[in-house]
Amino acid sequence: KERVFSGMQPTGSLHLGNYLGAMVQWIQMQETHECIYCVVDLHAITVWQEPKELRHAIRQVTAAYIASGLDPKKSILFNQSQVSAHAELAWIFNCVARLGWLNRMTQFKEKAGKDRENASVGLYAYPNLMAADILAYRATHVPVGEDQKQHLELARDIAQKFNNDFREQIVAAGHEDGVFFPQPEPVITGPATRVMSLRDGTKKMSKSEPSDMSRINLMDDTDKIADKIKRAKTDMEPAPPTDIEALKARPEIDNLVGIYAALAGISKEEGLKALQDTASEGPSIFTGLKRVLTEVAVEKLGPIRAEIVRLMDDPAEIDRVLADGSARARAIAVPILADVKDIVGLIRS
Ligand code: AQP
């Protein structure tokens, strides 16, 4: 049976990368699949979070889910820490995954930076918790942005090693094919699977980048969106790229065209044509592209922002959505965790 799981960290306000890279896909999948969407608060605390801001961010990400089009009646929406199966399974996976596997994770290296000795143990073990998030539901499909590919591969390795290590017990428990955990498949097919920073076309757009000018947040108002796009980095070339190949060689322009195409629901080729067609508008060859990009960004994100603001007016209602989602998530995860404990040889009463 196909089941979808994915999540976002409440480490700040969501941005266009989260929206185009993952959320658009999530919304589509809820029409065809059983979907579980999590606010991964335990992942967030792998780096320091001010408790008051964390609480606010958990509610705001939940509001952003709903405002973007996730329906708490169709999908399960909840926050990770309310379902203890995630943390319990993560511990078991800490004992399945190998140090060598985690040592290869590029996100840890990027996030820990130079001061690796001072990074939290949680940040290092993060991919094991992510594997537990997915496999606590035996989810088969995981819609994510490009940057999560390596973590998904690790989740697949953990699933496989668990199945191999406990094959005998898994078969004895009635899984004749010896497969307890499925191999979760990444679904990396959003309209823009890797949205880059507006200030540097070689870095991904990210919540934790210190410069707010590098990203468009779902909470940005019209003026802010316009200002950020206006000041987005371009290049000094005198003419627009002639074709997609030439576009690829110009990362900042490629990114702006990609964002425009994704928001407008058109192909990248059509996005490039819009740049070429407006290049004479001036004063810069990018003025026209930035104008149409601002228009479509405001048109798409304006209503989402307004809805987030409306929902945030009633935090108790958001907490109710999370409580209901958590109960439904628990109903799936608890029996799976019980089976895992039996398979591993732990006693439970
Ligand atoms: N720039 C991006 N382009 C496409 N997809 C992206 N995602 C994140 N950034 C981009 C996707 O959004 C989902 C949720 O990500 P996350 O919040 O769990 O963590 P992250 O990937 O580490 O995102 P950020 O924004 O960079 O957060 P911080 O700075 O807090 O680490 C994932 O599916 C991700 O692929």
Query: What is the domain-level CATH number for residue 246?
Result: 1.10.240.10
Residue 127: asked if its preceding bond is cis (omega within 30°), the reply is no
**pLDDT of the residue at 191:** 78
Residue in 147, 195, 212 to alter for ligand 1 test, most ligand atoms within 8 A of Cβ: 147
Catalytic residue of the set 204, 228, 268, 290: 204
The whole-number pLDDT of residue 208 equals 85
Does residue 7 sit in the same domain as residue 141?
Answer: yes
Q: Does a structural domain hold residue 150?
A: yes
Instruction: Enter the ipTM.
Output: 0.95
- Neighbouring C-beta atoms of residue 194, cutoff 10 Å: 16
Ligand 1 contact, 205 CB (< 6 A): yes
Q: Are residues 286 and 320 part of one domain?
A: no
Both 98 and 231 in one domain: the answer is no
Would you say residue 130 lies in a domain?
yes
For residues 124 and 29, membership in a common domain is answered with yes
> What's the confidence (pLDDT) of residue 12?
87
Asked whether residue 93 is assigned to any structural domain, the reply reads yes
Question: Using an 8 Å Cβ cutoff, are 187 and 142 in contact?
Answer: yes
Residue 120 marked as a ligand binder: no
In a domain, 49, yes or no: yes
Same domain, 184 and 234: no
pLDDT, position 98:
98
pLDDT of amino acid 302: 97
Q: What pLDDT is recorded for position 158?
A: 98
- Taking the centre of ligand 1 as the mean of its atom positions, its distance from the CA of residue 8, in whole angstroms, is 7
Whose structure tokens read 């044509």? 273
- Say yes or no: CB of residue 194 within 6 Å of ligand 1: yes
Same domain, yes or no: 235 and 167: no
Residues 31 and 115 in one domain: yes
Count of domains forming the chain: 2
Indicate the helix (H) or strand (E) that contains 7. Answer: strand 3-8
**Catalytic residue flag (residue 207):** yes
Nearest Cα to Cα of residue 17 among 152, 145, 208, 186: 145
Do 151 and 218 lie in one domain? The reply is no
244 and 328 part of one domain = no
Q: Of 220, 200, 221, which Cα lies nearest the Cα of 211?
A: 200
The answer to whether residue 198 sits within a structural domain is: no
Q: What is the value of pTM for the model shown?
A: 0.95
Residue 145 CA to ligand 1 center (angstroms) comes to 7
Q: Which regions in the chain score pLDDT beneath 70?
A: none
Structural domain for 275, as ranges: 212-309
**Inter-CA distances, 333 with 126, 134, 223, 299, 336, Å:** 19, 10, 44, 39, 5
The answer to whether 52 and 97 have CB atoms below 8 angstroms apart is no
Identify whether residues 297 and 322 lie together within a single domain.
no
Ligand 1 atom with the smallest distance to the CA of 192 is 4
Q: Does residue 206 fall inside a structural domain?
A: no
Q: Which residues contact 244 (CB under 8 A, 6 or more apart)?
A: 268, 269, 272
